[in-house]
Amino acid sequence: MRHARFTRDRVTAAALLVAALAALPVAAQPPGDAARGREVFAGKHCARCHRPGGQPGAGPALEQLRRPQGAYALTGRLWNHAPAMFTALTQERLAWPAISVAEMGDLMAYLDADPRRDPAPDLGKGQLALVGKGCLKCHGFRREGGRLGPDLAERRASYAPPATWAATMWGHTPRMAAVAIQRGVLYPRFSGDEMVNLIGFLKSGAGPAEVTLPPDFPITRAASSPGQVTFSHAKHVAKGATCSACHMRDVKMTRGASGPMTMAALEKGTLCGACHDGKTTLGGTVVFPLDRCDGCHKD
């Protein structure tokens, strides 16, 4: 139970887990009150920027926010919006508004966000989002990832109902944004069903145990190359590598999206060069350096 999947092909265990989750009762969210939600919207500075159509405002018109939507989908939009609001409030020397779970439930009711509109989560895509959004750069998940933030596998009570997660996320935002700036980490954005899928995976408590690793694939060979390089996920996993070891740095989840694999790039400490430096240890063994050509280049 150590490694996350890299492909979108879900294994049988994941598919069975999705079916099992669908049969379980979902943590009920008490119905919010739209009238109270309107007061929250005004009292937490939202109305300063989001005004009814026709009135000048710094943010999208109120009508764009108040529309039928899923509750977790709205949470993703709140997450995306938080840095801009944090900047605006800082410039106006206003404190970040605290929003309780009850207040968040009322705000969701006012903005017409209903958990029943959220689609069933795709756990495979949720697991990909956990890695691809960079969550593990700060947070751990089942002994993988960073140690700066709480282990996400241990916070399952925070993920449901949606108002609980939204309130937790909202309170976390200022520190998250500040740390991201300090560490040079891009603030992740969520679109479509990505937040739904991520939270579905985290709520499931599923570990990255049953996996289907991609097949070995060749790296484009330069004319001056001493031999073909074939990358093998399986061999790296067998040595103790985890997905966060590479994909939390500058190796993108989509093949080819990280730029060309060249010796010049590796010698700068990027891509494979981040570990193949003769100093980094993996599974108790020092990773061989780049100047050991036969470690990768084969005839």
| Contact (CB, 8 A) for 170 and 76 | no
Q: Is the pTM of this model over 0.85?
A: no
Angle at 50 between CA 64 and CA 71, to 5 degrees: 50
Residues 225 and 227: their CA atoms lie apart, in Å, by: 5
What is the distance between the terminal CA atoms of the chain, rounded to a whole angstrom?
Answer: 35
Burial 228-245 (b: 16+ CB within 10 A, else e): ebeeebeebbeeebbbbb
Q: Where are the domains of the chain?
A: 12-204, 217-298
List per-residue pLDDT tens for the chain, 299 residues long: 333 433 333 333 333 333 333 333 445 677 899 999 999 999 998 998 899 887 888 888 999 999 999 999 999 999 998 888 888 888 889 889 999 999 999 999 999 999 999 999 998 889 888 888 888 878 888 777 777 788 888 877 888 899 999 999 898 887 877 777 777 777 888 999 999 999 999 988 765 544 567 888 888 888 888 889 888 878 877 776 666 667 655 566 566 667 788 888 888 888 888 788 888 777 678 888 888 888 888 86
CATH number for the 217-298 domain, one of 3.20.20.210, 3.90.10.10, 3.40.50.300, 1.10.3720.10? 3.90.10.10
